[in-house]
Amino acid sequence: MALPTLTPTSTTSAITLPETGTIGNVAAACPVGAYNESADFLTGALTQVAYTYKKLGGDVLDIEMTEQNVYANYEEACLEYSYLLNLHQAKSIMGSALGGSTGSFDHKGVIKSGDALSGSNVALKYPKFKFETAFRIGETFATEAVVGGTQTIYSASFDSVASQSDYDLQQIVSSSATDSTMPFYNKVGNKRIKVRQMYYVSPRQMWRFYGYYGGLNVVGDMSTYGQYADDSSFQVIPVWQNKLQAISYEDHLYTRTSHYSYEIVNNQLRLFPTPSSVSPEKFWFRFSVDNGDDIWEDDYESGQDGINNMSSLPFENLPFDSINAIGKQWIRRFAIALSKETLGQIRGKFSGVVPIPGESVTLNASDLLSQAANEQDKLREELKSILSEMTYDKLIETDKNMTENARTIIADVPLKIFVG
């Protein structure tokens, strides 16, 4: 009977990376499948096998991983590149995109079929700038300052009563809101009103200007434009002076002509001083109706459906066919770093020195994992740094600097001397 051989056979792994891959294995090996419909992606993933084999020394050493590992890493590199590019674009356009159309996405990050934005490739489009954030904020301030905005301003009045200084404006409006002839009919109910302005004389259709030569308190109409004062009737004056005159007129109305002051607490008006007689007969006030402070109401005044943050931007994964040579080289480098991470994790299953017939092998799992982490961080920071200089506001700043530099150069160029 033959004796069994006692010489052990020891190998690190029975599986090693082939020098080339197989196109038919690519799609099934990609966990997400985000790019499986792109023939160029399948080809790119296939060539990544040969690239990885050469970069990691497959001609000299065994690489204990499968071609499927390389395909999965290549897909992850594409998704990482798309993620960073979409983040960059989101920073540039978020202010203009707020309130715009969003979409519904599947597990791959692709807009679902049948969605209004399906196939639109929004991430590749150069958007219109609408400054939605600034406009929304401006509209709110304009409403509060009663100089515009989107909220309807109503007016109402009440009869003054001699020796009475307190009036309930909320009750006055609520009782009038049941009158169908009122513009705020059925718009108040139990909603709170916001009083915007108090006055007791309807604004007169005249202007009061204060000029250098016309004297103070000169009253004129729109045709005489200052009652024949030299600076307002017969001279061409700058717009800024008209503006100062209008400001002075408004200041005069609010701080000099009125004999009354008031305070409003919880829409309860108190006049100072208490009217001693029925003069004026009526007090007027402008107000808006509170919509209940529901910021999510689906109307233009309070809120609207659509994009409200980065997560609702209709950005799909960047189409692989639209990624240029710069992007594809970044993807190849990042996929190599991911493959080093995979190989380091596999080799980390073995401890330190592994015996083989007549020799021993020291595995470099920790070195591979360290290199992989550093290279991935470096590639991410490299791409982020480049993209940070390409946001739309930075591009405008670059154009501005170019224009200023060109102006400086032109200023130093001597003009030609004309000889008649």
DSSP 14-31: S----SS--GGGHHHH-S
How many whole angstroms separate alpha carbon 354 and alpha carbon 342? 19
Q: What pLDDT is stored for residue 79 in this prediction?
A: 96
Q: What pLDDT is stored for residue 21 in this prediction?
A: 94
How many whole angstroms separate alpha carbon 228 and alpha carbon 212? 12
> What letter represents residue 268's amino acid?
Q
How many whole angstroms separate alpha carbon 306 and alpha carbon 94? 12
| 193 three-class SS | strand
Q: Which residues of 248-264 are buried (b: 16+ CB within 10 A; e: fewer)?
A: eeeeeeeeeeeebeeee
How many whole angstroms separate alpha carbon 55 and alpha carbon 401? 42
Q: Which residues of 64-74 are buried (b: 16+ CB within 10 A; e: fewer)?
A: bbbbbbbbbbb
Q: What pLDDT is stored for residue 121 in this prediction?
A: 74
Residues 95 and 58: beta-carbon distance below 8 Å: no
Query: 170: number of CA atoms within 13 Å, CB side?
Result: 12
DSSP letters along 404-419, please? Answer: HHHHHHHHHSPPPPP-
| pTM of the predicted protein model | 0.62
Q: What pLDDT is stored for residue 372 in this prediction?
A: 96
Q: What pLDDT is stored for residue 168 in this prediction?
A: 95
Residues 311 and 113: beta-carbon distance below 8 Å: no
How many whole angstroms separate alpha carbon 312 and alpha carbon 102? 6
Name which of 372, 314, 319 is nearest 65 in CA terms. Answer: 372
- pLDDT one digit per residue (tens) for the chain, 420 residues: 565 554 444 445 678 999 999 999 999 999 999 999 999 999 999 999 999 999 999 999 889 999 999 999 999 999 999 999 999 988 888 877 777 778 788 888 778 877 777 777 776 777 777 776 777 777 777 777 767 777 788 999 999 888 899 999 999 999 999 889 999 998 888 888 989 888 876 444 334 444 444 444 444 444 444 444 444 444 456 778 878 888 877 776 666 566 678 899 999 999 888 877 777 788 889 898 876 544 444 444 445 567 778 888 888 899 999 999 999 999 999 999 999 999 999 888 876 566 566 666 677 888 999 999 999 999 999 999 999 998 888 888 888 999 999 988 888 888 777 776
